[in-house]
Every structure is written in structure tokens, then in C-alpha cells.
Amino acid sequence: MNKAKNLAFSYSYILPSFILTVVLGIYPIAWAMRYMFYDYKGYGAEKFIGLDNFTRVLKDHEFWNSVVNTFVYAGGKLVLSIPLALILAVLLNQRIRGRNLLRAIIFMPTIISTAVMAVVFFTIFNSYNGILNQFLMKYKLIGSAVDWLGVDYSMLTVILVAVWGAVGNYMLLFLAGLQNIPEDVYESSALDGANKLQQFRYITIPMLGPVMQMIIMLAIINALKGYESIMVMTDGGPVGKTNVMFLYVYKLFFPTAGSGAATQIQEMGYGSAVAFVTAVIVGLITILYFYGSKRMSQYE
């Protein structure tokens, strides 16, 4: 009797969470797994076409172009943000004046809306009467307006904006890892005559290994997944230069949303297949990285 009562209590308390997760979290994934085998435009008839959507993905140049863009974007974001975050963490792990204030400032971008900041960055980088160009021209640093969101520089611009938003987060994660390294290791190495750079190379880096492996993995996944700020700033343009794969998926489902420059028609079935391939790509890279970086975690 008591047991039945306990079970009833347990299930009734978990029920709201369970229902919401199944209906709004799991079901949509199952929905996509079904429609990836269908020709379905979001209205009218749905037709089962087997693996046709996947052969279409293989030949979809625009998609593979977006995959390449994603790698450039994610690579650029990682190469800039991880070292910067690590250096900041090491510096702000010292007992220096104002370190809490500096940490709070550098972490601040992570609490602000990506979409809102994308609008702000758009007004800053806009080539026509953007704040940055006006400023640079006023002080004669550039002769004519630079098209920061144009064909040549748009990828660099969206990477810089992404780095701005991400460094604080990774800095904080590195700081958490650094605080697990015992102080006396540094003290004894200093007695042995090691300087700061040597300590960094031979103590900090190896002892941070397992944590660093986790942080970089997190950073890779985040970088591959991010598209909100790109969507608001450039909408994947110009001419698909900043079109990343998750943005490409988005446009197959919501073609008219955004700047209104619709180039596609709605493709629910095909979009589901592309989304699946995208998820597989992210998963494969994560697994490859995990095995490739095993050496990093072998310190302890």
C-alpha cells in the first residue's frame, strides 16, 4: 500500500516535466526523422520517396558551401577565442587589483541577447553610415568606406562578433579549471627557478589538459551550432558568403522570414533530411575531436 502511494507520488510529480519534454522536445525530433523520407512542402500532399532526399543533399552545392562556411566560421571563432580566453583566465587568476571587476566586465556579453547585439553590431559595421566607418574616415585611418558586411569582410566581421560574445564564457570555464591546480606546485617550481612562461608551458597547460579538452569540445559544438547573430547581421549574405549550415536548414523551413530576400521555397521533407545530415556532421566532428584529443586528458 505504502509502495503504491510512493509510486503514485513519484509519477505525479514527474508528470509535468515528462509530458512537456516528450511532447515539445522528443516528438519534434521524431517528426523530423519521419519527414526526412518524404517529399513535403508544408502544404498539400506528402509523398514517401525513400532516400531521395539524401541523394539530393549529396548534390546540393549550396548546402556543402554552407558546410564549408560553417567550418571557416567555427575555426576562426575557436582560433581567436580559445587562446584569448586562456590568456585572460591565467592573468585574472593572479591576485591583482580589480580582478573581480575585470572578470565581470569580460563575462558581461554572455548575458546580453545575441540578436540584440547583432542589431547593434549591424549599425556599427554597416558600410553606409555605419559608426565604425564614419569614425575611421573622420580620423583619416581609411580613405573610403570599407564594406565590413560585404563579400570580402563579412565572414571576418561575423567571426569577430562571435568572439566578442564567447570569450567571457570560456575565460570563466578556464578560471574554474585553473582554480583546481594546487598553488604549491607553482611555489615549488618557482623555488626551482622556473619563470612564469615555463610555469605556463610545463604546469598550467598539462594540468589543465582534461578541463581544456572539455572546454574546446563545448566551444566546437557551440561554434558549429551558432547562427542567430549571423541571421540578424547578414542573413547569410552577401551571395551566401556567411551562410552557415544551421542557417541553411532554417531557411528551408522559414524561407520568407528574415530580410525578406527569399531565394528558396519551403521544403519540410528535404529540410528534415538536411537537418539530420547537419546533426550527423556535428556529431562526427565531436567524436573525432574527442578521440583525437585523448592525449590532453591523460595527464591525471
Dihedrals phi, psi of 38, to nearest 5 degrees: -120, 155
Applying CB under 8 A, among 134, 198, 263, 298 the residue interacting with other proteins is: 134
Site residues for other proteins, 37-66, by CB under 8 A, read 42
How many helices (H) and strands (E) the chain has is answered by 15, 2
Tell me how far, at minimum, the Cβ of 203 lies from other proteins, in Å.
Answer: 18
Q: Which residues pair with 48 in a beta bridge?
A: 38
Q: Binder to other proteins among 55, 188, 198, 259 (CB under 8 A)?
A: 259
By DSSP bridging, strand 47-48 and strand 38-39 are antiparallel
Q: Are 242 and 158 in contact (CB under 8 A)?
A: yes
Site for other proteins in 74-113 (CB under 8 A): 84, 87-88, 91-92, 102-113
Grid coordinates standing for 86?
A: 586562456
By CB under 8 A, tell whether 26 contacts other proteins. Answer: yes
**Under the criterion CB under 8 A, does residue 7 sit at the interface with other proteins?**
yes
Which residues of 117-253 form beta strands (DSSP E)?
A: none
**Taken in order 78, 80, 83, 89, is the CA torsion positive or negative?**
negative
Q: Contacts with other proteins in 191-220 (CB under 8 A)?
A: 196, 211, 214-215
Q: Residue from 61, 138, 140, 295 that binds other proteins (CB under 8 A)?
A: 138
Binding mask 270-299 for other proteins (x = CB under 8 A): -xx--xx-xx--x-----------------
Residues 161-190 that bind other proteins (CB under 8 A): 164, 167-169, 172-173, 175-177
The DSSP output letter for 25 is I
